[in-house]
Amino acid sequence: MLRVSDSGPDTPANGIDWVDAAGRGTELSASVTAALDRHVAVACADGAGRVTFVNHAFCRLSGYSREELIGQDHRLLDSGYHPREFFAELYQTVSGGGTWTGEIKHRAKGGTDYWVAATVTPLDGGATPSGHYLCICTDITHAKRRALQEMEQHQELLRQGDEQYAYAASHDLQEPLRAIVGCGQMLQECTPQADPTVSQLLVHTIEGGKRMQRLVSELLAYARVGTHRPRLARVSSHDAFAQATERLKATIEASGAEIEGRDLPAVLADSQQLADLFYHLVNNALTYRGAERPAIRVRAELDGAFWKFSVADNGIGIDQASHRRIFMLFQRLHARHEYPSAGVGLSVCKKIVERHGGRIWVESERGRGATFFFTLPTRLTPALEHCE
């Protein structure tokens, strides 16, 4: 078994003895101590949780010197990652004379976190207020990071597979829908004096087909955002906004909307996706307009490491309870006959913004218009390096 003498700042590095059955202790040789220091971090604490011994490897891993650790509470290394119940279960095990084994995330002196595979056990065969606990650790930080990266890569592949399937399925649906709508229109032309019931059925068929075409088109746009990585460059958000309003020119003129974009900066973005983002936000404002003449204002301001954009309108507004729901795919707050929408546009906006490393949200009340906000990083972040 092992025995640990009371330690202090002047305790030599090899403060752990092997103890035989008769209680005779033999100090570990320098070579054995060096071997332990090379492969494992060793620490001991008393019944109150105060550190009484650390080896060189433990100091090297934590970034603290022996003098800084001896006498300190073991919570000095707490990273805040684990819940209180995690340590309660650990203490319950060792205080009952058992051995606890698991993985712990610590925080080093410099503020960086690291992972260890740890075994904690009482040294005296059971816990007493004056007893010691031994903790033997191995650094598994790199292994944990690799595992996390592999998991993220696996999830990304699954996500891309789902989106590629949606893209292919949506694309393949376009042709039969065109055939349905085209045949319906030809039947209308060939049978102008048809029975009223037949005529009505043809109208429903054509309208349903066209509605399905719009839905599939929007689903394609949603899938395309996920399957095409943003091609980041320094682009003019004013030009992207102008491109979006040009695509909506007919709707803007028909509604008499006043649309203004002022002081829009150059940003790090995919130019086409940024234009699509403005398109869907402005189109949403035009779709859910109220009785007044639509007024849409687009602004941008620097907010720390991000540009924060706002798209404000004077439309019908949104209940606070629905602020998160509207960004979910196919979520509609109104009947189709009230406001024609597939419930895809804002989902596309959310995906574009998140793929650029930003976030999107709305502030609104029913009957008082809505302001959509989104942020874009001012510089390249590690999460966006793969998008260059």
Q: Give the residue carrying structure tokens 């035009």.
A: 286
Q: How confident is the model at residue 367 (pLDDT cuts 50, 70, 90)?
A: confident
How does residue 373 score in pLDDT terms, banded at 50, 70 and 90? very high
pLDDT at 237 over 90: yes
From 102, 118, 139, give the residue that closes a domain. 139
Q: Are residues 121 and 204 in the same domain?
A: no
pLDDT band, residue 275 (cuts 50/70/90): very high
- Do residues 337 and 214 share a domain? no
Q: How many domains does the chain have?
A: 3
CATH at 284: 3.30.565.10
Q: What is the mean pLDDT of residues 308-335?
A: 81
Domain-ending residue, one of 123, 139, 155? 139
Quickly state the pLDDT bin for 267 (edges 50, 70, 90).
very high
Lowest-confidence region among 14-18, 136-140, 194-198? 14-18
Q: Are residues 195 and 247 in the same domain?
A: no
Show which of 98, 114, 139 is a domain's final residue: 139
Domain match, 94 and 197 both: no
Residues 223 and 255 in one domain: no
The C-alpha atoms of residue 388 and residue 375 are separated, in whole angstroms, by 19
On whether both 110 and 156 belong to a single domain, the answer is no
Same domain, 97 and 86: yes
Q: In CATH, what number is assigned to the domain containing residue 93?
A: 3.30.450.20
Same domain, 9 and 120: yes
- Both 169 and 25 in a single domain? no
Q: Are residues 88 and 20 in the same domain?
A: yes
Task: For residues 30 and 118, state if they share a domain.
Answer: yes
Both tokens of 223, joined, read 């899938």
Same domain, 151 and 252: no
Average pLDDT, the chain: 79
The proportion of the chain whose per-residue pLDDT surpasses 70, expressed as a percent, equals 72
Q: Any idea which of 139-148, 224-233, 368-377 has the lowest mean pLDDT?
A: 224-233
Supply the range of the domain harboring residue 130. Answer: 2-139
pTM of the prediction? 0.49
- 385: pLDDT strictly greater than 50: no
pLDDT score at 47: 81
